[in-house]
Amino acid sequence: MVNDLDSLFDQGLPKGRKVMSFLKATYDCGAQGLVNRSITDKVLQQSGLAFHIGTDDPTMRRIASWLLTNHEERIQELVKRLWKRCGREDVKLIGLLFANTEGDAWAKMLSTINKGLPLDLVLEMAEEIKRSGRDVPSIEFLSSYNANKIQMQNAMLIASLDMKDEFVELVSNAPKGGELFERIRKRSLDA
């Protein structure tokens, strides 16, 4: 299955609209798509995402690494296209690209996410950025992202990754979310 991904990489990254079909084909390399199909079909119905293939993390990391190594100049364009299509793997790839490119990854994340996403996917993106060596931003930075409910909730999720006293008000005042969101809020405030 790894050879399938390598053979796609050998073709190179297409231009224009073909790039999106190419990336979706890379997500589908490997056995994970068949193993996870019944689970992902159920999750997809409730997620609001365009698709959910079930691509494993090592494959996603290989795709991101290949793009960053061979097509860094196209990353900004790819992020826009990926966000517009908004499949689960597209969002995971965006998180990997934000975490591993120059610039303020937190600002990119908070500015890009302008619609509701599954909470685990938002947390995965945030954790990937933190794993890249970036500190959780200051309260001033997080508080500046208050244009809408989604930005405020995502700022709270980022703060929850490294709860400090300065984040208490931001976490307390974030707009109400679902059950998991509220458990994260409670755990953060109790820490």
**Per-residue pLDDT, 34:** 47
Which pLDDT tens digit goes with each residue over 33-85? 444 555 544 455 555 688 878 889 999 999 999 999 999 999 999 999 999 99
Same domain, 59 and 143: no
**Per-residue pLDDT, 27:** 93
| Distance in angstroms (rounded) separating the CA atoms of residues 189 and 110 | 22
Contact yes or no for 104/133 (Cβ under 8 A)? no
Boundary-marking domain end, from 83, 101, 119: 101
- Give the long-range contacts of residues 11-19, CB within 8 A, separation 24 or more: 13/67, 13/70, 13/71, 13/74, 19/78, 19/81
Average pLDDT, the chain: 90
Same domain, 110 and 170: yes
**Per-residue pLDDT, 1:** 45
Q: Note down the domain range covering 62.
A: 1-101
Residue 158 CA, distance from chain mean position? 13
**Per-residue pLDDT, 46:** 53
Same domain, 138 and 86: no
CB under 8 Å to 141, separation ≥6 — which residues? 106, 107
Which pLDDT tens digit goes with each residue over 158-174? 999 999 999 999 999 99
How many structural domains are present in the chain?
Answer: 2
- Of 158, 81, 73, 78, give the one whose Cα is nearest residue 119: 158
Q: Model confidence at 100, in pLDDT bands (50, 70, 90)?
A: very high
CB under 8 Å to 102, separation ≥6 — which residues? none
Same domain, 113 and 93: no
pTM for this predicted structure: 0.89
Kindly write down the DSSP assignment for every residue of 8-51, as one continuous string. Answer: HHHH-PPPTTHHHHHHHHHHT-STHHHHHHHHHHHHHHHH--S-
Same domain, 86 and 120: no
| Distance in angstroms (rounded) separating the CA atoms of residues 19 and 79 | 12
Which pLDDT tens digit goes with each residue over 14-26? 999 999 999 999 9
Section 75-101 average pLDDT? 96
Same domain, 116 and 191: yes
The two three-digit tokens of residue 26, written as one number: 């890379």
Same domain, 94 and 4: yes
Which pLDDT tens digit goes with each residue over 105-133? 999 999 999 998 999 999 999 999 999 99
For the chain, give the longest Cα–Cα distance.
52
**Per-residue pLDDT, 32:** 58
